[in-house]
Amino acid sequence: MKISDLEKRKFFPAIFMIFIAGGLDAYSYILRGGVFLTMQTGNLVQIGIRIARGEFYSTLYFLAPIFSFVLGIAIATFVYKKKHGVKITAALAAIAYIVGILLPLGGVPDMLANGAIAFGAAVHLQIIKSINSFPIATTMCTGNMRSLAECIGERISTKDKKYSLGILIYSSLIISFTLGVLISGLIIYAII
């Protein structure tokens, strides 16, 4: 089984999109206060830790991207269904990323930048949700890693070749995300 020509139009953009997501997470973690913007689980962990330490005010720093992410998903879900929804959604993500990156570093601007980038990531996540009927995420890897492991298990147990395609898709996404983190980290550390 191979990726159909129609699905190739989603595969390569998805690989690029998850590469960008990896780069943005490295950027936000290194330069914007240890916040993860393309996935929110790490921010929920940060909130729990800060509440446990009695640092209630600092939870706001991690709540801003969570609220922005939820808002982004809601807006993208609405916009995506409209005429030219994919193009509008992609433009919203790009604009949010640019705004977030251009805000100055430090303090309140970090919260605003983190909110903008988290909003963009949420919108970005809604653009491509599957390839060849394999559900994917273009901003994070936990689900993709789980799906990769499932495809490996299914391929071994059933011998069904369609799972080889899933292995290729998920491996490509995970590698691309990791390369995005690596390259962004190398660039940032070379500059600072």
How does pLDDT run across 160-182, given as a tens digit for each residue? Answer: 999 999 999 999 999 999 999 99
Tokens (6 digits) for 146: 């789980």
* pLDDT at residue 69 is higher than 80: yes
CA separation for the pair 83, 36 (Å, rounded): 32
Terminus-to-terminus CA distance in the chain, angstroms?
Answer: 46
How does pLDDT run across 39-54, given as a tens digit for each residue? Answer: 898 899 999 999 999 9
pLDDT average, residue stretch 4-21: 87
* Confidence at residue 58, expressed as pLDDT on a 0 to 100 scale: 87
- pLDDT band for 5, please (50, 70, 90 cuts): low
| Residue-range definition of the domain harbouring residue 123 | 5-187
- pLDDT band for 33, please (50, 70, 90 cuts): confident
Q: Looking at the domain assignment, is residue 70 inside a domain?
A: yes
Residue with tokens 């330490």: 53
Q: Which residue has the higher pLDDT, 36 or 88?
A: 88
Q: Looking at the domain assignment, is residue 154 inside a domain?
A: yes
Q: Looking at the domain assignment, is residue 192 inside a domain?
A: no
Q: Looking at the domain assignment, is residue 50 inside a domain?
A: yes
- Name the percent of the chain lying above pLDDT 70: 97
* pLDDT at residue 3 is higher than 80: no
* Confidence at residue 171, expressed as pLDDT on a 0 to 100 scale: 97
Nearest C-alpha neighbor of 121 from the set 172, 70, 157, 184: 70
* Confidence at residue 103, expressed as pLDDT on a 0 to 100 scale: 94
* pLDDT at residue 6 is higher than 70: no
Per the structure, the count of domains in the chain is 1
Give me the chain's average pLDDT, please.
92
How does pLDDT run across 78-137, given as a tens digit for each residue? Answer: 998 888 888 999 999 999 999 999 999 987 789 899 999 999 999 999 999 999 899 999
Q: Looking at the domain assignment, is residue 10 inside a domain?
A: yes
* Confidence at residue 76, expressed as pLDDT on a 0 to 100 scale: 94
Q: Looking at the domain assignment, is residue 54 inside a domain?
A: yes
Backbone angles phi and psi of 134, in degrees to 5: -90, 120
